[in-house]
Amino acid sequence: MLDHSDTPAVSLKGAQVRFNRFLALQDISIDFDQGGFYSVLGPSGCGKSTLLRLISDLVPADRGEVAILGKPTEAARLAREFAFVFQDATLLPWRNVLDNVCLPLEIGRKRGVALNASRDDARRLIRMVGLEGREKALPHELSGGQRQRVAIARALLCKPRVLLMDEPFGALDEMTRDRLNLELLDLWRESGVTIVFVTHSISEAVFLGTHVLTLAAHPGRVRDLTAIDLPHRRIEIRETPEFNAYCGKLRRILETC
């Protein structure tokens, strides 16, 4: 588990992103506490994915500050403090499951960077994501959900303290998505990693998150941060009045975005 402190896992202060004349994000100021699970909602085009790219040093801020565990994003990237899981699993098609998960080790060696991870760690993560016995399978032999499990295992290999996830289950069928939501919660509890998870689904955001951040659009800006207090996160909780009340509140907020 992580050694929690008062330093936020992610901190944004007055952050702004502009693409030429288009203002994508404006005055984003928010802290994500260590160990939390932050779902991110908002209408299409509000900058949810841009927010993750800003945090991960893929997009520069033209104003304001962004820090991960108190470090500038570039320093945090070099220290492997965070990892990114995209909607597309982005596996190398000619490499089997184990070799795809181990890819960060090879990249680190080529760059002369010693990583605190091994192939045994990769095998352990493969077991954790439910793919034991499929280590030698190629990506085309896996289902969409299995490929995303591989991507999550790869992201966790270098023991990041922040995991950024951009609609990782958005292209999956509902039953597979439900199963992966439960597995992700188990991984989150076991690892203690801070997760920032973009989704278009209100119910998924409420089911997964300790908090739900809602962004407004044109330009993207913080509209609301709702703390979610729901015990025993199982699929059945979606049928409770408490769960539906959170969903209703967020739907009303989204209608004003």
What single-letter amino acid sits at 135? E
**Any alpha helices (H) in the chain, and if so which ranges?**
48-55, 73-78, 97-101, 103-110, 119-128, 144-156, 174-191, 202-208, 241-255
- pLDDT of 140-174, one tens digit each? 999 999 999 999 999 999 889 999 999 999 888 88
Answer whether residue 54 shows pLDDT above 90.
yes
Tokens of residue 53, six digits: 């790219």
Query: Per-residue pLDDT averaged across 2-6, rounded?
Result: 59
Answer whether residue 65 shows pLDDT above 90.
yes
What is the reported pLDDT for 79? Answer: 86
Answer whether residue 253 shows pLDDT above 90.
yes
What is the reported pLDDT for 118? Answer: 83
CA–CA separation, 24 vs 73, rounded Å?
A: 19
What is the reported pLDDT for 2? Answer: 43
Residues in contact with 86: Cβ distance below 8 Å, sequence separation at least 6, in sequence order: 151, 166, 168
What is the reported pLDDT for 114? Answer: 62
The residues pairing with 222 across neighbouring beta strands, listed in sequence order, are: 215
Answer whether residue 232 shows pLDDT above 80.
no
pTM over 0.85: yes
What single-letter amino acid sits at 36? G
Ranking 81-95, 208-222, 227-241, 243-257 by mean pLDDT, the lowest is 227-241
DSSP structural state of residue 220: B
Of 232 and 78, the structure prediction assigns the larger pLDDT to 78
Sketch out the chain's domains with CATH numbers: 1-81+160-256 (3.40.50.300), 95-159 (no CATH)
Query: Per-residue pLDDT averaged across 194-220, rounded?
Result: 96
Answer whether residue 68 shows pLDDT above 80.
yes
What is the reported pLDDT for 1? Answer: 41
What is the reported pLDDT for 113? Answer: 62
State the Rg of the chain over Cα. Answer: 18
Would you list the DSSP string of 22-78? EEEEEEEEEEE-TT-EEEEE--TTSSHHHHHHHHTTSS--SEEEEEETTEEHHHHHH
What single-letter amino acid sits at 58? L
Neighbours of 33 (CB within 10 A): 17
- Reduced to 3 states (helix: H, G, I; strand: E, B; else coil), residue 120 is helix
Query: Per-residue pLDDT averaged across 115-139, rounded?
Result: 89
- pLDDT of 17-46, one tens digit each? 999 989 999 999 999 999 999 999 999 999
